[in-house]
Chains A and B, each alone.
Chain A
Amino acid sequence: MKRWTTWALWSIGILLFQSFVLSQVQLYGYLNPYLYVAVILLAPATWSRMQLLWLGAAVGAWMDFQMHSGGMHLMATSLLAYFRPAILSSVLPRAAEENLGFTLQDMGSGKWLVYTAVAVSAHHGYLFAVDAHGIYHFWAFIWRTLVSGAASLLLLYLTGLLIKPEEAR
């Protein structure tokens, strides 16, 4: 997003939805969607790595606090935040310099899907690897990452449809 105020409002909404609704969804022992990664994915393109890193740490720490998961989410979100500029610029090379918008409508489905899918699989894979103390049960790990990742991706897409592209400042 371009304006941090719009982003902040969306973030609060997304985090509340995650806490009160999504964290309660636990189907078949695998499926637990993590929509909250959107907070990091949507943060303004002009933000520096350092700003993103602390944002990721704060969001992760909040998730850990309410899910009693030690520091798992903190690790996954800070890793995602660290690599976000790289993922974003590989899809939209001049996003940071020109403060391009990167909502679903701005980017188009193809680019948006690459950006989001790479970020979500990195985040979920790392999260589940830390939870399981490694990837010893390899196929169970892959399956969890795929199923939860697909659920998160679907929710991110639905959220993306709601977010309107912003006009230039």
Chain B
Amino acid sequence: MRNVLRFILRYRILLTLLLLQVSGLYLTYRSSPMHESFYWSRVLGAQAEWNQTRDGWKAYFLLETTNEELQAENARLRAQLSQPAARPINAVDSNQFVWVSGQVIYGTSHLLNNILLLNRGRADGVEPGQGVLSPTGVLGVVSDVNEHFAKVTSLLHAESRISGTVARTGFFGTVVWSGGASNLVDYIDLPIEAQVTVGDTIVTDARSALFPSGWPIGVVVQVESDSSLFTQSAVLEVWGSISRQQPAYIVKNVLEEVQNSLLSQ
């Protein structure tokens, strides 16, 4: 017993370092945030409030860009409204989604696993697993919520997988991110016959239950073909910036349970 105590006293500094490292690892790799308790939801709330206070001043400098983007979106929507004959082909699935508008209040883009924070939470009907869009593209998927804030797994996260389709030809692929520049994402798993070319627009597809189809993701800036695997991959440039303060739409698929119940019968 005395020897154990002596050992602890002798190596107390190294042991403290190891303890700190292990707790850091635990905090970094702790399991799915969806199973996290009340405690982490409280921490998220405190973090979000601090971010909001700290980053508030930045929003003023971005107001002009934000306004222009919203005006452009309004113009697009008005144009659609004024042409009742030309109903969008995805009219069914646009009724299938409930939209909650909010604001990105914090975001990182320099890490390999980036996150965003939104100022909408459970009180506004936001739940983990819902998709998040910006006026100009896709932001990510909600991973954690508390009463008033939501944490989003950004499109710029190594584990993010979002399906997208080539607007011109309709082939399916997957949008992933593997680090590097924060305006470039990879588009993989394309069949070789997809014949993607530089300048093609990639949009969300109906295959994913997360997003309404036809929402823009990015534009192809580089294509690579692998003839041995019969696949193509491409690099997409996203519009706007993902990790800045901007308006965000959280979309909820109201027919998700109906779809699932049909599948399970």
Q: Which of A74-82, A112-120, A156-164 contacts B (4 or more CB under 8 A)?
A: A74-82
Main SS class of interface, A: helix
Q: Is A105 an interface residue (CB 8 A)?
A: no
- A137 CA to B112 CA, complexed, in Å: 11
Give 1 or 0 for each of A48-70: 1 = CB within 8 Å of chain B CB.
01100110110010001111111
**Which of A70, A74, A140 contacts B29, CB < 8 Å?**
A70
Question: With A32-B110, A70-B30, A131-B112 known to touch, is A60 a contact of B16 (CB < 8 Å)?
Answer: no
Give 1 or 0 for each of B11-46: 1 = CB within 8 Å of chain A CB.
011101100110111111110000000000001001
**Which of A29, A57, A71, A79 contacts B180, CB < 8 Å?**
A29
A75 pairs with B24, CB closer than 8 A? yes
Task: State the interface size on chain A (CB cutoff 8 A).
Answer: 36
B20 pairs with A78, CB closer than 8 A? yes
B54 pairs with A74, CB closer than 8 A? no
Question: With A19-B54, A24-B55 known to touch, is A71 a contact of B23 (CB < 8 Å)?
Answer: yes
- A54 CA to B55 CA, complexed, in Å: 28
- A82 CA to B20 CA, complexed, in Å: 11
A50 pairs with B27, CB closer than 8 A? no
A131 pairs with B111, CB closer than 8 A? yes
The 3 closest A-B pairs by CB, nearest first: A71-B27, A71-B24, A75-B24
Binding site for B on A (CB under 8 A): 19-20, 24, 26, 28-32, 49-50, 53-54, 56-57, 60, 64-72, 74-75, 78-79, 82, 130-133, 137, 140
